[in-house]
A and B are shown apart, each in its own frame.
Chain A
Amino acid sequence: MTQTEIDSPDAKRPGLTRRQIYEAQVRRRSMAIAAGSTAAVLLALVVLIPLAPGWEGVKKSFFNADVFARTFPGLLEAFLLDVAIFAWSAPLIFLLGLCIALCRDARSPALYPLRLFGTLYTDIFRGVPVILVIYLIGFGIPGLGLPRPWNSPYIWGTVALVLTYAAYVAEVLRSGIESIHHSQRAAAASLGLGHSDTMRFVILPQAIRRVVPANMNLFVALQKDVALLSFIGPVEIFRQAGVYKSLLANFTPYVGAALIFLAVTVPATRYADYLMNKQARARS
Chain B
Amino acid sequence: MATLDLKGVTKSFGRNTVCSGIDLTVGDGEMVCLIGASGSGKSTLLRCMNLLEPIDDGVILLDGVDISVPGLDPQPVRQRIGIVFQSFNLFPHMTAVENAMLAPRRVHKLTREALLPEITHLFERFGLADRMDHYPDQLSGGQQQRVAIVRALAMKPEIMLFDEITSALDPELVGEVLDVLRHLRRAGMTMVLATHEMGFARELADKVCFLDKGVILEEGPPEKLFTDPKEDRTRAFLARVL
Contacts and interface: CB of A to CB of B under 8 A. Distances in A.
A188 B79 CA distance: 11
Nearest to A191: B103
Contacts of A192: 75-76, 78-79, 103, 107, 155
Given A192-B78, A194-B75, A201 B83 contact: no
A205 interface: yes
Interface residues of B, number: 23
Interface in A172-219: 183-184, 186-194, 197, 201-202, 205-206, 209
B52 A186 contact: yes
A187 B106 contact: no
A186 B78 contact: no
A24 to B, nearest CB: 34
Given A186-B85, A191-B155, A194-B75, A206 B93 contact: yes
A189 B87 contact: no
B106 A193 contact: yes
Nearest to A198: B106
A191 B85 CA distance: 12
B20 to A, nearest CB: 23
Contact of A191 (B92, B93, B152): B152
A206 B91 CA distance: 9
A187 B155 CA distance: 13
B196 interface: no
Contacts of B76: 192
A157 B155 CA distance: 51
B17 interface: no
Contact of A206 (B52, B85, B92, B103): B92
B78 A189 contact: yes
Given A189-B74, A192-B76, A201 B89 contact: no
Contacts of B107: 191-193, 197
A206 B10 CA distance: 35
B102 A201 contact: yes
A193 B103 contact: yes
Contacts, number: 59
Nearest to B87: A183
A205 B93 contact: yes
Given A183-B85, A201-B106, A190 B78 contact: yes
Interface string B20-47: 0000000000000000000000000000
Interface string B71-109: 000111011001101010111110000000011001100
Interface residues of A, number: 17
A191 B91 CA distance: 12
B92 to A, nearest CB: 7
B50 interface: yes
Contact of B151 (A183, A191, A197): A191
Contacts of A191: 78-79, 82, 102-103, 107, 151-152, 155
Given A191-B78, A192-B76, A197 B93 contact: no
Contacts of A209: 93
Nearest to B154: A191
A205 B78 CA distance: 23
Contact of B91 (A186, A189, A202): A202
A202 B106 CA distance: 12
B22 to A, nearest CB: 20
Contacts of A206: 91-93
* Residue of A186, A188, A189, A191 with most chain B CB atoms under a 10 A cut-off: A191
* Residue of A187, A188, A205, A209 with most chain B CB atoms under a 10 A cut-off: A187
Contacts of B85: 183, 186-187, 190
Contact of A190 (B52, B93, B102, B106): B52
A201 B99 CA distance: 10
Nearest to B107: A192
* Residue of B52, B76, B90, B106 with most chain A CB atoms under a 10 A cut-off: B106
B74 A187 contact: no
11 contacts: A183-B87, A188-B103, A190-B85, A190-B152, A191-B79, A191-B107, A192-B76, A193-B103, A197-B106, A201-B106, A202-B91
Given A187-B89, A190-B52, A191-B151, 4 more contacts: A183-B87, A189-B52, A192-B155, A205-B93
Interface of B: 50, 52, 74-76, 78-79, 82-83, 85, 87, 89-93, 102-103, 106-107, 151-152, 155
Instruction: Name the 9 nearest CB pairs between A and B, nearest first.
Output: A192-B79, A191-B103, A187-B89, A192-B78, A190-B83, A197-B106, A183-B89, A192-B107, A192-B75
